[in-house]
Amino acid sequence: MAKIAFLGLGVMGYPMAGHLAAAGHDVTVYNRTAAKSAAWVKEHKGAAGATPAEAAKGAEFVMACVGNDDDLRSVCLGDEGAFATMPEGSIFVDHTTVSAKVTRELAEAAASKGIQFVDAPISGGQAGAENGVLSVMCGGDADAYAKAEAVIDAYARICRRIGESGAGQMTKMCNQIAIAGLVQGLSEALHFAEKAGLDGRAVVEVISQGAAGSWQMQNRYETMLDDHFDHGFAVDWMRKDLGICLDTADETGASLPVTALVDQFYKDVQKLGGGRWDTSSLIKRLRAMG
């Protein structure tokens, strides 16, 4: 079993760190709000560090799941950052969805200290984290990935190395691009059914068994029909991710017309007060339009 630090105990990180402890690893956690760390330690019998550097001291692996590029930099760099105390040969695994630019920046900073860096963004939502069935898409050195994979297995349904540093983040962008279009399509289908006077549940029972079926349809249609939107990844975070996708598309020359449109639809949901609603709340925008 490995000595591991886990930085960031949000709705994803808290259960992920718990799976590592349950697998028998020696886990020390850090969270910006110390009360969350204390609650995790009480539940899982691990330890907590007052700073990322303290949590990471002597760790073989440091896993991070924080908010954005700046949050990631803050837990990695500086005197209180994890890189300050991670031993040479240790591996930093970043589960945050961030830009490929900051990934490469931090991978270089880690390498200068003899630390290996794996970008490993995740998909599967809060339920996936709680049930230990996340999809993990990775970039970085093949040897570092091979070592990290055995640890990541504690909370993954599938874990794959896609390529060199940044490839994991690029793959997560593909994931978010696909989700954006799927959720909008599902929202329109359910809204159309409502306007046509159809039983939405009966409609989905039939169409989900054919070419229209998807994870989003299977797992979100009932809560969408019931107007409940507290079951997953928040709109505010989706807009952050789609912003990364669109910025990267400008850099690479990719055309993302549907993604750009759905990003604006999520902006409308934010204006409705839905920044913390889950991403299936796109249907709320359609209902608000009449």
Amino acid at 222: E
Phi/psi for 173 (5° steps) reads -60, -40
Residues 6 or more apart from 246 whose CB is under 8 A from it?
256, 259, 260, 263
Q: How many CB atoms lie within 10 A of CB 23?
A: 17
Q: How many CB atoms lie within 10 A of CB 74?
A: 17
| CA pair distance 162, 141, nearest whole angstrom | 10
Q: Which of 113, 121, 62 has its CA nearest to residue 84?
A: 113
Pairing relationship of beta strands 3-7 and 61-64 according to DSSP bridges: parallel
84 neighbors 110 (Cβ within 8 angstroms) = no
Q: Which of 6, 29, 30 has its CA nearest to residue 93?
A: 6
Catalytic residues: 172
